[in-house]
Chains A and B, each alone.
Chain A
Amino acid sequence: MTRTTLAAPKPGTQTRTVPTRGRRRARHGPVSTPWLFLAPALILFLLFKFIPMGQAFVMSFQDVQPFLGNQWVGTANYEVLVGSPDFRGAVWHTVVLAAGQTVGSLLIGFVLALLLEGQAKRLWFVRSAAFLPVVAPMAVIAEVWRIIYHPTADGLANQIIGWVTLDPSQWINSPDTSLWSVMIVGIWRDAPYNMIIIIAGLVSVERSLYESSALDGAGILQRIRYVTIPALRPVIVILLTLAAIRAMRVFTEVFLLTNGGPNGSSEVVMTLIYRLGFERNQLGVAAAGSVLLFLATVTLTLLIRFAWRKDR
């Protein structure tokens, strides 16, 4: 925690009356001061984050019956969850979706950033246009993509793949393509966000490095490989961390586009938790799923941070 310095005493004013320990307190203010400043945020976090999280943790060991009172069931909820093929399927889909969406949006974001970096007015316009998917509400995006994915030959997406003479696809309506269709929407939404962060990172790349590498005979690809990417390393780590966490908790787009279907082919952990909790009324099992998802997210985050520190 950062130390807050408040009312630094003038030299010599208090030294005579207050012994060493007191002097320290005088310099830094009472011990409680930083906590007072933090209190509003902490109280809100406590009420709306930590206590509900704690309750979910408790619920994951209970048969939850709000009116009759919860019963302790030990680890039964975890056993039911981990033993169900639905959960294993959902974990696999989440991993595939997380990996695909993270890598896809990072690559496309990077390419977009290289294309759209610069000061010109028209670039500013194109950048804003490209950024629109990030600010549009997910519910709107999902409805638009439902229309785009209309599964007949005159659906928009099918017309586009028709140009390269592909047969119309069922998109979100077929178990073979539903997960990929959701992934495309995710990449489309996340790539511009990555683009903006990477553009910010590109600004800090020393221009002279490009010039000197060009003088040394490096082509465009080599300059990207040996100058741009190493310079962007911290940015990429942050983006990877954020994208991985976001992808683990993916819910809205799947819920609105496919609701986990058809035949569970796009069920992810969050939609499964929702279904268990609110459609099947097994709140204890759903809480167990949330706890596992939380642990997975924490582990993944720590792993990425650890790998990064070691790298440095």
Chain B
Amino acid sequence: MKKPSELVATVAVAAVTLAGCSSAGGSTTDQNDPDEQTLEIWQRKAPDSPSDMVGQEVAEAFTEATGTEVEFISILEDFETKLQQRAAQGDLPDVVINDTAQLGNMQSQGMLREIDRSSIEGADSVSERAWGAAEAVDGNYYGVPYTAHTVAVFNRADWRENVGAEVPQTWDDLLELWKAYADDDPTDTGEDVAGIALPGTTKRGYLSWNTSTFFWSGGGEYFEENADGTFRSAVATEGSVEAADWIRDLVCEHDVAQPGAGSQDTTNTKELFQTDGAGTYLVAPYELASFDLDPGADVVEVFAPPPGPAGLTTLAEGNNVYLMAGSENESAQEAFAEWAISVEGQTVGMAGDEDGNIVRLPVNQDVVMSDVRTDDRWSLFQELYDENGRYVPGVPNWAPFLNASAETLNALISDCTLDTRTAMEELDDEFNRELESQGVLAE
């Protein structure tokens, strides 16, 4: 409870703070002696997880190769918030390994060093597709690609055999399979199961993220992109509305998603798939190891999503090595980026067939997958990435669009009385407003 006197005090403090408020600079920083540079590297992974262990191995291998000492830190919860706090102190970590989709967000805040591709040793070995995800809307590069992946369908092979279905080749087959799971008791226990585990929450934009493969394959587009780097929303086009309708009908028409999907995130859906609650789950290969344990390697199969009305496009993602601005260790930053994309650096990050790899699909084309991993399912993901993978659009900051589209899709699956076209038209307005505020709306 506040007394008036305390209120006055608060305002007084505010005034003092106002006067003392300083801004952190992004200007050139004095450099440490090149021989004595050390690196603080952050990655967005759970501490003490297998990925953290692989990260430590990466750090050790890099130190061994170059002599540069590294402090390698894994942070999962509130990663972006913690980065903001360091930014506010003007003391960013030297290197951050983070999602390609975060590039615009960090670049627009001046946190990233621009990369001169030609000066990075080994840059030519990295696939052009991966470099595309390190390029900002201004045409410059602000990260060095490190790992890539895309999604495929994880399916319960035993259930599929129980309902007498083949591996689906079309969207109709896929729907039939899901309906069979939901209606025909594939487990022989009488328990209700879902066709597909769908993370339908708006949190972190999960729903839009998870269904973007279906959205694109169904003929949807987020933007119409012009050669001059400007955009216009395309979410209310015929193809987009139809694609959104198809996603909505998974819940509203066919009822093949798990009950309560609209409030569940990937932790819930992963658990659902692992505990015999759903027959399929569309996810990236980082789940291979854990799905081999539960529900078990003998019952899980992985196949490419069947093509939709507009063919097959799968969501490509990955991590870049970001060299953070304001570092006193720029030559060590560059050395790490060069080492990370080398065959050696990629191989250490791939961690063989172990759980916790931080390089999923190598971005260095000289790495031969079968030399590093025996599990041949990885080549399916490699093929999908090379042939069908597509990164999220290169707008300056993708996060607001991801959130807004997740909110619209979430509304559609939560309230089946809503009209898809109207909802997508509202989203269209919101997209254009956001494009305008990011300064890239086409005339």
Interface residues of A (CB under 8 A from B): 46, 50-51, 53-55, 57-58, 65-70, 146, 149-152, 170, 172-176, 241, 245, 257-265, 275, 278-281, 283, 298, 301
B1 at the interface (CB under 8 A from A): yes
Are B407 and A67 in contact, CB atoms less than 8 angstroms apart? no
Chain B contacts for A258, CB-based, 8 A: 263
B residues 389-410 touching A (CB-CB < 8 Å): 397, 399-400, 403, 407, 410
Are A301 and B78 in contact, CB atoms less than 8 angstroms apart? no
Closest 9 CB pairs of A and B: A69-B23, A262-B414, A263-B411, A54-B14, A66-B87, A66-B88, A54-B13, A67-B87, A54-B17
Q: How far is the CA of A69 from the CA of B13 in the complex (A)?
A: 21
8 Å CB contact of A67 from B17, B24, B78: B24
Q: How far is the CA of A180 from the CA of B400 in the complex (A)?
A: 28
B46 to chain A, nearest CB (A): 18
Are A57 and B14 in contact, CB atoms less than 8 angstroms apart? yes
Are A173 and B263 in contact, CB atoms less than 8 angstroms apart? yes
Q: How far is the CA of A67 from the CA of B23 in the complex (A)?
A: 7
B80 at the interface (CB under 8 A from A): yes
B18 at the interface (CB under 8 A from A): yes
Chain B contacts for A176, CB-based, 8 A: 415
B68 at the interface (CB under 8 A from A): no
Are A51 and B202 in contact, CB atoms less than 8 angstroms apart? no
Interface residues of B (CB under 8 A from A): 1-2, 7, 9-11, 13-18, 21, 23-26, 78, 80-81, 84-85, 87-88, 90, 92, 105, 109-111, 192, 201-204, 259-263, 325-326, 397, 399-400, 403, 407, 410-411, 413-415, 418
Are B23 and A70 in contact, CB atoms less than 8 angstroms apart? yes
Chain A contacts for B262, CB-based, 8 A: 173, 261-262
| Secondary structure type dominating chain A contacts | loop
Chain A contacts for B203, CB-based, 8 A: 259
8 Å CB contact of A66 from B109, B259, B411: B109
Question: When A173-B262, A259-B203, A279-B403 are in contact, do A54 and B16 touch as well, CB less than 8 Å?
Answer: yes
Given contacts A66-B84, A281-B84, 8 further A-B contacts (CB under 8 A): A50-B9, A67-B88, A170-B260, A173-B263, A261-B407, A262-B411, A263-B411, A263-B414
Question: When A152-B192, A278-B81 are in contact, do A53 and B10 touch as well, CB less than 8 Å?
Answer: yes
Chain A contacts for B400, CB-based, 8 A: 280
8 residue pairs bridging A and B, Cβ less than 8 Å apart: A54-B17, A55-B21, A58-B14, A66-B88, A173-B261, A259-B203, A263-B410, A279-B204
Question: When A67-B325, A172-B263 are in contact, do A260 and B202 touch as well, CB less than 8 Å?
Answer: yes
A153 to chain B, nearest CB (A): 10
Are A67 and B9 in contact, CB atoms less than 8 angstroms apart? no
Are B14 and A262 in contact, CB atoms less than 8 angstroms apart? no
Are B21 and A67 in contact, CB atoms less than 8 angstroms apart? no
Q: How far is the CA of A245 from the CA of B111 in the complex (A)?
A: 39
Give the nearest-CB partner of B14 in chain A: A54
Chain A contacts for B410, CB-based, 8 A: 261-263
Q: Which residue of A66, A150, A280 has the most chain B CB atoms within 10 A of its CB atom? A: A66
Chain A contacts for B23, CB-based, 8 A: 68-70
Are A55 and B17 in contact, CB atoms less than 8 angstroms apart? yes
Q: How far is the CA of A173 from the CA of B413 in the complex (A)?
A: 10
Chain A contacts for B17, CB-based, 8 A: 51, 54-55, 57-58
Are A67 and B111 in contact, CB atoms less than 8 angstroms apart? yes
Chain B contacts for A152, CB-based, 8 A: 192, 259
Give the nearest-CB partner of B324 in chain A: A67
Q: How far is the CA of A288 from the CA of B7 in the complex (A)?
A: 17
Question: When A175-B411, A262-B414 are in contact, do A301 and B1 touch as well, CB less than 8 Å?
Answer: yes
Q: How far is the CA of A40 from the CA of B260 in the complex (A)?
A: 49
Chain B contacts for A263, CB-based, 8 A: 407, 410-411, 414-415, 418
Are A175 and B415 in contact, CB atoms less than 8 angstroms apart? yes
8 Å CB contact of A51 from B13, B81, B109, B403: B13
Chain A contacts for B16, CB-based, 8 A: 54
A265 to chain B, nearest CB (A): 8
Question: When A264-B407, A298-B2 are in contact, do A70 and B263 touch as well, CB less than 8 Å?
Answer: no
Question: When A150-B259, A264-B407 are in contact, do A259 and B414 touch as well, CB less than 8 Å?
Answer: no
Are B399 and A279 in contact, CB atoms less than 8 angstroms apart? yes
Chain B contacts for A170, CB-based, 8 A: 260
8 Å CB contact of B110 from A67, A245, A264: A67
Are B14 and A298 in contact, CB atoms less than 8 angstroms apart? no
A206 to chain B, nearest CB (A): 29
Are A70 and B415 in contact, CB atoms less than 8 angstroms apart? no
Are A53 and B399 in contact, CB atoms less than 8 angstroms apart? no
